[in-house]
Amino acid sequence: EPRLSIGKTGGPAATIRGVTTDFPAATILGYPRIGPGRELKHALESYWAGRTGRAALEEAGRRLRAQTWARLHELGLRAPGALPSNTFSQYDHVLDAAVAVGAVPERYRGAADPYFAMARGADGLPPLRMTKWFDTNYHYIVPEIGPRTAFAASPDKPLAELAEARALGHATRPVLLGPVTLLRLARAAPGAPGGFSPLDRLDDLLDVYGELLSALAPHAAWVQLDEPIAVVDGGSPALRHAYRRLAALTARPRLLVATYFGDAGDALPALAVAPVDGIAVDLTHGVPRNLGLFEGRTIVGGVVSGRDVWRTDPDAARALLAAAGATAVGTSCSLLHVPYTLRGESALPESSKAASPESSEPASPESSKAASPESSEPAGRESSKAGLPEGLAFAEEKVAEVVSLAALGPKEGPLPQRPRAAGTLGVESRAPYAAREQAQRDLGLPPLPVTTIGSFPQTGELRAARAAVAAGRLPLAGYEARIEEEIARVIAEQEALGLDVLVHGEPERNDMVQYFAEHLDGFAVTRNGWVQSYGSRCTRPPILHGDVRRPAPITVRWATHAQSLTARPVKGMLTGPVTIVAWSFVRPDLPLRDVTLQVADAVREEVRDLQAAGIRIIQVDEPALRELLPLRKEEQEEYLAWAVAAYRRATSAASPGTQIHTHLCYSDAAEVLSAVDALDADVTSIEAARSAFAVAGFDRGIGPGVYDIHSPRVPERDEIESRLRAALATIHPSRLWVNPDCGLKTRTYDEVRAALSNVVAAAGAVRQSV
Ligand code: GLN
Ligand code: ZN
């Protein structure tokens, strides 16, 4: 006799040892909201541009919600409470949560549209900060909470979505961000006294959550409270306190606390002492400890991953459900992080055959995988990808998996083993820095050399040319000639400005990861696999599904063309192995470490070929080094060790006379600073000069960005000069480089010329005095 059984989808609710709970047998924790055709993106951008009004934006949202519920219902999420609501957002669900509790900073209240003013800034008012949502590539708006934040419940949005769904015939389960996660993700409001932490306001906030829950109670049987922070700080007294108080409310719906992005074992005792009615756990990391404490309550087993694009093995999933004592089947987290559907991806095995013409960034036409007549496809290349779609599941396919697993129910069996990295990690070393520095003298660089991070503005004309060649309207040779012209223009600009180390400007790249994915074996790219990154911004992550190999040089022709046009050194420009895997969906059958090392080998071949072609300076970007840092402290050291090893492997082919640069997109690198040092790059450029102290003690080349490229503002020569002088307080003049804080591709040529000429002038002035 099975320990428990799960009710048939759409039929009776889950049954635990004969006890029927009223939680549906199948559910998902959340769903993408940008729209299968990025409808929300288009509606937002048209609203922001003033082309359409509020009403059109609201209408677009209403239509997307109705479509989503209808589709999910069709896929089998039919029992009352199986469909989540309030998971739609016009911009960000954390911002929505801040609004729902009244945490709107005073300075935004007078704006014409306070919500978008917080999200994007308005009338000289900078937006709230934005940062990464746990270890995903989604970014949320950071709420500001101070001692005087006047919390007030505004349940309008969850209530309206409930009513809207009800009118369409769906009894939904509203999803709210949990109070502890909200406070832990918030920052102290500017002006808050030192030592204040938003968590100090927990009791006040719980009053407001009490009001939100009682407003929802008459309309919803269950409410889901998302507490992913439980995985990070499991044992925290805040969780215990919060859920004791919320569960003790008299007028409340049943509470499902959703923990995700890892093993919630440490948090379960705190949540179990409170009489919350159910818990959702992420089983893709194994079965957490302490689940037995929830016996007799709803346990949603998150066996279908919301973080990857792979099909779920039904036997392994059923064994996990059995081992966890799950009473319902769910996704490990919201499906926000995966594309909508495989439908329309019929070209996947041949993957990067010209992207759809309406996509804003088509596949790189000169890619050897592109379907242009000129492309010569090495025999057998595609065969490794045959059958790829059958191994994939995007959001819709994952919903179908949840539904069918719920119908099958748990079944004891062997638990899946996550692949573990075996074997020792060899860390490759180049010659000692002193010898490299000596060997690089003949580059003939002045003190405080001026350079850029790689990309120059990408014109609409270039993007149009890419689309034209993808659509067969422009021959490949014509496109390549356009790229060469663009490189010549970028070189001429830099010579005129007086930069010391030039770049080719990256005009051939649609994206710094996708471009490489298109040129490496083992990757596929989708036509329409967009995933929301923040607000209206989406990315189309490549799918790393097979062994990675570099069939042919990728960047060499562009770098050598650039170098042929100038006597100054041109810096070759590559994306590092950690960043390539961080921004892709990665095969699950090998440890991430080993996949990254394969990518490192491919990058190493490119480094070797660039060097052989006479390129003396090569930058290997790792802006995502910190992004992959595991959430749990005890896993961080192991990650950093292999991330460093991968980078060093990628750069180890460089002879002492070849100068290796790296670039990281942040300066607040406290947790990874020693790893950045261990990369052993000859020159490291980082974001924001504000924290020059962070790089004190760095004894190789360092370029703390001298101005912020994310803003259109042109920096004054004086301010750059004073930043450089401040940097010289901690950095030896022979080690200091001068550069913007990131690539220039989002700026205009006018902005770039004005800014860089001030940078060159400032560097020249400071050079006089060292
Ligand atoms: N070389 C890349 C560029 O300049 C680096 C981008 C990044 O750091 N994200 O665009
Ligand atoms: Zn950057």
Q: Check pocket membership of 665 for ligand 1, CB cut-off 6 A.
A: yes
Encoded amino acid at 394, one letter: F
Tell the residue nearest (CA) to atom 5 of ligand 1: 743
Exposure b/e, 597-613, CB count within 10 A at least 16 = b = bbbbbbbbbbbbbbbee
Distance CA 717, CA 31 (A): 48
- Ligand 1, atom nearest to 665 Cα: 8
CA distance 590 to 596: 10
Question: How remote is the CA of residue 294 from the centroid of ligand 1, in Å?
Answer: 47
* Whether 710 is catalytic: yes
Spacing, Cα 623 to ligand 2 middle (Å) = 6
Strand-pairing partners, residue 523, are 544
CB 328 within 8 Å of CB 14: yes
In whole angstroms, how far apart are CA 692 and each of 132, 721, 736? 23, 14, 11
**Is residue 743 in contact with ligand 1, taking CB distance under 6 Å?**
yes
CA-closest candidate to residue 484, choices 559, 554, 373: 559
CA distance 267 to 282: 13
Residue 754: how many CB atoms within 10 A of its CB?
13
Nearest atom in ligand 1 to 575's CA: 1
- What's the Rg (C-alpha) of the chain? 27
| Ligand 1: residue whose CA is nearest its atom 6 | 743
Q: To 5 degrees, how large is the angle CA 673–CA 675–CA 677?
A: 75
Return the pLDDT at 665: 83
Distance 455 CA to ligand 1 centre (A): 6
Which residue has 């959550």 as its token pair? 209
pLDDT value at residue 123:
81
Ligand 2 centroid from CA 509, angstroms: 15
| Helix residue ranges, H only, 81-129 | 93-100, 106-109, 114-120
For atom 3 of ligand 1, the residue with the nearest CA is: 743
| CB-CB contact of 409 with 9 (8 Å) | no
Q: For 515, list phi and psi in degrees, rounded to 5.
A: -55, -45
Per the listing, tokens 């242009």 go with 372
Residue 314 dihedral angles phi and psi, to the nearest 5°? -65, -35
State if residue 663 touches ligand 1 by the CB under 6 angstroms criterion.
Answer: yes
* Ligand 2 center from residue 668 Cα (angstroms): 13
Most ligand 1 atoms within 8 A of CB, residue of 742, 744, 752, 756 to mutate: 742
Query: What do you get for the CA distance between the two ends of the chain, in Å?
Result: 82
Residues of the chain with pLDDT under 50: 1-20, 350-360, 368-386, 689-690, 692-693
- The CA-atom distances, in angstroms, between 571 and each of 244, 444, 661, 724 are 59, 14, 9, 22
Ligand nearest to the CA of 571: 1
Identify the DSSP state of 427.
Answer: -
* Bridge-based pairing state of the strands 278-282 and 254-258: parallel
User: Which one-letter amino acid corresponds to residue 269?
Assistant: P
Query: Of the residues 137, 139, 453, which should be mutated to test ligand 1's pocket, given the most ligand atoms within 8 Å of the CB?
Result: 453
Nearest CA to ligand 1 atom 10: 743
Our answer on whether the CB atom of 455 is closer than 6 Å to any ligand 1 atom is: yes
Q: Is there an atom of ligand 1 within 6 Å of 669 CB? A: no
